[in-house]
Structure 1
Amino acid sequence: MSANTKTSRKVARYAVPVAVAGVAAATVAMVPAFANAGGPDLPKVTAQQLIEKIAASDVQELSGTAKISTDLGLPTIAGGLLGGSGVATGSAAPEDKVAQLASGTHTFRVAADGPDRQKLTFLDGKDEYSLIHNGADVWGYASKSNEVFHEKNAAGAPEDKKAADRLAASPQQLAEEVLKAAGTTTDVGVGDTAQVAGRDAYQLVLKPKQAGSTVGSIQIAVDAKNGVPLRVQLLSSQGGKPIVDAGFTKVDFAKPSADTFAFTPPKGAKVTEGSDERGRGEHGKEFKALESFPGLDALTGGANGKGEVKVLGEGWATVAQINTGAGKGLTDLEKSANDKNAPKEAKQFLDSLGDKVSGKFGEGRIFSTRLVNALITDDGKVYVGAVTKDQLVKTADSAK
């Protein structure tokens, strides 16, 4: 057996659990009802042993059903914009569907057969959206609009090889890297056991040591038998339901049939290749209007993207300071929003910003969600981080 073959098998061995965790964490949330009250009685494990268990999982095939729910506490206008054009038009572009997941609850079916074949089918009412990776091809299909998105997967790029090398590391190495990455600002431990999708699970818990973070903890439910992450929850430091809660409601670790990943564009479907300009839909027009609104470029790095970014603090209390370099700030936005020629979306956006705040930094407004807060100042600076409003103002005051 060649060294390349061995490496490929190692990559496949670790890629599926990592991919499942990534889908759960990156695409959004799951409902807390997945965990039954009074968890199962399981042998005790340490945090490092549990991380090793995740990394050592040899599961390459699975199928099941999951739910994702997200409660970011977004203002109405922001939630609508982040809903993406996929909501209004049934766009097949993957980024549109991902944007839609920024709020609400969604159900999907998932199937995986190694690192080269995965499928997600989102079920929103009678309409379906499928995202399929089958070898070199990535397909997106929206039944509502009968639109298809197609892109060739650029496998073998240097970045992919680097990622593959990391995935091929031993479970012990991976566990040590995760714990090291958590650093001195994070408590890593094992929480109560749970039952997720009818399977016994341990829970790996990451908690910020620092005060001021909007994150209370991140809890990852791990299958007690095979080490596959079954649910990821992002809990708020202010309590209440999870900000993000993503997990399986049903899961089967048998190999999916080959035709699960086969896809042929339906007759009459509009097919858009990845290199083509992607359709924006009605909400795309809103984004375009906002981009053309005088002053809004100050929130995105200034004219021609020349803004400077400075990182303040560390760990969970990290805040990005963006000096837009546009020479415009909140005052300019307010003036422009009241201009008779300004698009209505600009005024709606401005109205979604919070009340005025002041400090050593000057004056500004805080755009607030349950996870991320952003302070937009009158002199054109932006401070943003997963920290509370008070911590954000405190950081802005101490910035040089």
Structure 2
Amino acid sequence: MAPNESDDSTTDSATAAEADDRYAGRRKAARYVVPVAVVGVAAATIGLVPALADSGDPDLPKVSAQQLIEKIAASDVQQLSGTVKITTDLGLPDLGGLESSLTSGAMKSGEGSSADPTSKLTELASGTHTLRVAADGPDKQKLSLMENAAEYSVIHSGKDVWGYDSKSNEVYHATGSDSADSSGGSDRSGRSGKEAKEDVPATPKDLTEEALKAVDDTTSVTVDGTAQVAGRDSYRLVIKPKDSGSTVGAITVAVDAKTGMPLKFTLTPASGGAAVIDAGFTQVSFAKPAASTFDFTPPKGAKITEGGDVEHDRAGAKSEGDLGKGHDGLDGLDGLDGLKVIGEGWNSVATFDTGGEGMPTGSAAGGDLGGFIDSLGDKVTGKFGSGTVFSTRLVNALMTDDGKLYVGAVSKDALVKAANAGQ
């Protein structure tokens, strides 16, 4: 590893601003729902995640961190196909099937489609999943989630976006303007530019773009040797918070030495242990995929749900998902009435006054429900009063008894400190 190590331990302000400009995309628009903030944020933090399983340390020319970031930004892979494996361990509480039951009930009552990408891809927030991805320029992408004896696919072809769930034989269809316009182009990783910015990031390229938005003066960036991923020689880019308080330990990206495309992305928590999520290509080819890869015709008898126009449907308010997208995501929530951001960099905490009296716990919630809510969090007190902290391995949220919410990729102590400062 030594020949490729770099003492370029930080990026200066100009580099940080340049990286931010390169990767700042349209911010996601959806609905912000306070009661599910912890679960929603944790799902969205797939934008900041995943462990490198090296298979050899290839001998490559030395590069600096700045050069490697520029190489990622200049990457222009238009065609690819491959398999991505994602393992996610956010440490979410076991709801005993409650979440799936609620989802199933909603589908049966006609409130949604099991083929809708906005709900289906949140399954990546837990467990191990295998994805097959393919792209042929900005107008054709496909992502398939492989399940036991079933498959879920999202296909973008021109103005059409199709979602298909083979298990339920349901189809979701939406239309939008061509992806090759001025608002984003393609992300080269299996989805159109617009769709990639508005869905859960699912490939190393998506994840890296989100992580690089967090690079600022509070960040250490280094090149730590080399690796071989999916048979490709790669550099290892390591991104770390400089200060304590963040739940993020380090983010490691395997960058293809030839194309500059991220092949694997790792986030390990400050608390230690296994990676929060391990996502990377196990197989990749940069040859042109067969044209038939992007063809889709709804199967006979399938239930079809029309989603309308993609751009119109997503022109609403901010989402809880934005909270998980680095510092850029927190900044993107400034438009919410009453929302503020306390602190800076990796220790940023978003705070929002719900206008209510907080989440009822204990006897106030009544019976078993109160005990269940109490079991999900830890009671804390401070200058702000009292409240409950709900934790994952990456994102924590403090709901005060007077209805204020504090959320960030920071420790419990940092949340309490932010709440005290917010008084």
Q: Give the equivalent residue in structure 1 for 2:272.
A: 239
Alignment partner for residue 366 of structure 1, among 381, 386, 389? Answer: 389
Q: Max radius of gyration: which structure?
A: 1
Alignment partner for residue 61 of structure 2, among 39, 43, 47? Answer: 43
1:149-196 Cα deviation digits (max 9, x unpaired) = 000023479xx624359999xxxxxxxxx9896221111211221111
Q: Give the equivalent residue in structure 2 for 1:34.
A: 53
Distance in 1 between residues matched to 2:186 and 2:130, nearest whole Å? 33
Report the 3-state secondary structure (helix = DSSP H, G, I; strand = E; otherwise coil) of the residue aligned with 1:77.
coil
> What amino acid is aligned across from residue 329 of structure 1 in structure 2?
G
Contact 1:27/1:101, CA 8 A, preserved across alignment:
no
Distance in 2 between residues matched to 1:234 and 1:25, nearest whole Å? 10
Distance in 2 between residues matched to 1:388 and 1:25, nearest whole Å? 16
- The alpha-carbon deviation at position 25 of structure 1 amounts to 7.8
> What amino acid is aligned across from residue 239 of structure 1 in structure 2?
G
- The alpha-carbon deviation at position 143 of structure 1 amounts to 0.5
> What amino acid is aligned across from residue 274 of structure 1 in structure 2?
G
Distance in 2 between residues matched to 1:233 and 1:199, nearest whole Å? 17
Structure 1 position 96 matched with structure 2 position 119: yes
1:231-253 Cα deviation digits (max 9, x unpaired) = 11111111111112211000011
Unaligned runs of at least 5 residues, structure 1: 1-13, 16-23, 169-177, 277-305
- The alpha-carbon deviation at position 77 of structure 1 amounts to 2.0
> What amino acid is aligned across from residue 242 of structure 1 in structure 2?
A
Q: Give the equivalent residue in structure 2 for 1:256.
A: 289
Structure 1 position 74 matched with structure 2 position 102: no
Matches within 5 A, 1:183-202: 183-202=216-235
Contact 1:83/1:102, CA 8 A, preserved across alignment:
no
- The alpha-carbon deviation at position 71 of structure 1 amounts to 0.6
Report the 3-state secondary structure (helix = DSSP H, G, I; strand = E; otherwise coil) of the residue aligned with 2:71.
helix
Q: Give the equivalent residue in structure 2 for 1:21.
A: none
Highest RCO, 1 vs 2 (Cα 8 Å, sep ≥ 6): 2
Structure 1 position 329 matched with structure 2 position 352: no
Distance in 1 between residues matched to 2:390 and 2:54, nearest whole Å? 33
Report the 3-state secondary structure (helix = DSSP H, G, I; strand = E; otherwise coil) of the residue aligned with 2:308.
coil
Evaluate the alpha carbon distance shift between residue 39 and residue 57 of structure 1 in structure 2; reply closer, same or farther with a 3 A threshold. same
Residue-pair matches, total: 331
- The alpha-carbon deviation at position 354 of structure 1 amounts to 1.6
Q: Give the equivalent residue in structure 2 for 1:6.
A: none
Matches within 5 A, 1:1-400: 26=46, 32=51, 34-36=53-55, 38-77=56-95, 81=99, 85=103, 91-155=114-178, 161-164=182-185, 182-275=215-308, 308-326=338-356, 328-330=357-359, 332-335=360-363, 337-338=365-366, 347=370, 350-400=373-423
Distance in 1 between residues matched to 2:237 and 2:381, nearest whole Å? 40
- The alpha-carbon deviation at position 228 of structure 1 amounts to 1.1
Evaluate the alpha carbon distance shift between residue 58 and residue 384 of structure 1 in structure 2; reply closer, same or farther with a 3 A threshold. closer
> What amino acid is aligned across from residue 201 of structure 1 in structure 2?
S
Contact 1:84/1:97, CA 8 A, preserved across alignment:
no
Distance in 1 between residues matched to 2:114 and 2:212, nearest whole Å? 40
Report the 3-state secondary structure (helix = DSSP H, G, I; strand = E; otherwise coil) of the residue aligned with 2:244.
coil
- The alpha-carbon deviation at position 85 of structure 1 amounts to 3.2
Distance in 2 between residues matched to 1:261 and 1:156, nearest whole Å? 15
> What amino acid is aligned across from residue 117 of structure 2 in structure 1?
P
Contact 1:84/1:99, CA 8 A, preserved across alignment:
no
Relative to structure 2, which stretch is displaced further, 229-238 or 81-90?
A: 81-90
Distance in 2 between residues matched to 1:41 and 1:384, nearest whole Å? 43
Q: Give the equivalent residue in structure 2 for 1:282.
A: none
Evaluate the alpha carbon distance shift between residue 199 and residue 316 of structure 1 in structure 2; reply closer, same or farther with a 3 A threshold. same
Q: TM-score, normalised by structure 2?
A: 0.70
> What amino acid is aligned across from residue 318 of structure 1 in structure 2?
S
Contact 1:27/1:98, CA 8 A, preserved across alignment:
no
Relative to total residues, which structure has the larger helix share, 1 or 2?
Answer: 1
1:344-379 Cα deviation digits (max 9, x unpaired) = 7x5576144222111111111110000111111112
The alignment's C-alpha RMSD in Å is: 3.4
